[in-house]
Structure 1
Amino acid sequence: MKNMYCEHLGISEDVYNYGQNVIKELKERFDRIDEIAEYNQLKVLSAMQKNKVAEMHLYGTSGYGYNDEGRDTLERIYADIFKTEDALVRPQIICGTHALNVAISSNLRPGDELLSP
């Protein structure tokens, strides 16, 4: 492998060796990241199995959200992954500010005031 980098790609041996040392120093970090990624992937797969995700859940919809089994299943999957009672997963919510507005607006009635400490 070293030959390929040094001879064929023209990378100096010093640069190659430096890169290899950096990779060795970061190995533990990369291994930890891989462990976390694998754990999270297993959580997602488990939630998908629990909610019996099937091909029918991947079909398109009318856009109105009526009887949208795919969306409902996706929300149950998110709730299972994040260990919450329920989840609201919508591509129409485009940013954090929009999400806060939706949450506050759904809890305040006309004329209500939001007090902040």
Structure 2
Amino acid sequence: MACDDDAQSDGRDSGRSETDDAAVPTYHPETDTYIEQFDPDTVAASRAVVESIAAVRRRSPMEADPLYETIDPDALDSVVESGDPSVSVTFDVDGFWIEVRAIGRIEITPPE
């Protein structure tokens, strides 16, 4: 899920530091999920997914498999950029079940 610097050439920023422990998505034990909010106007959804999964794993995003091996990052970004609040994309990354909503919400369910 590595994300190269060229993916952000549109001026959007990741909004987090690779070493910022406070950036770990919020864990919800009642649903066994992690929730992360991001601003889809300033952060690419694909970048937010890569960084959220890395934070849950407590690893650098650069240590992960490329996201494009699972889903087309450009397509994910385009769907989320539509801004339609009813839109969501769900997929599996290394056993993690990921749901990305166009409102800027990522829900991560870890492997059992």
Q: Which one has the bigger helix percentage?
A: 1
State TM-score, norm by structure 2: 0.27
Structure with more relative contact order (C-alpha pairs < 8 Å, separation 6 or more): 2
TM-score by length of 1: 0.26
**Bigger Rg, which one:** 1
Instruction: Say which structure is richer in strand.
Output: 2
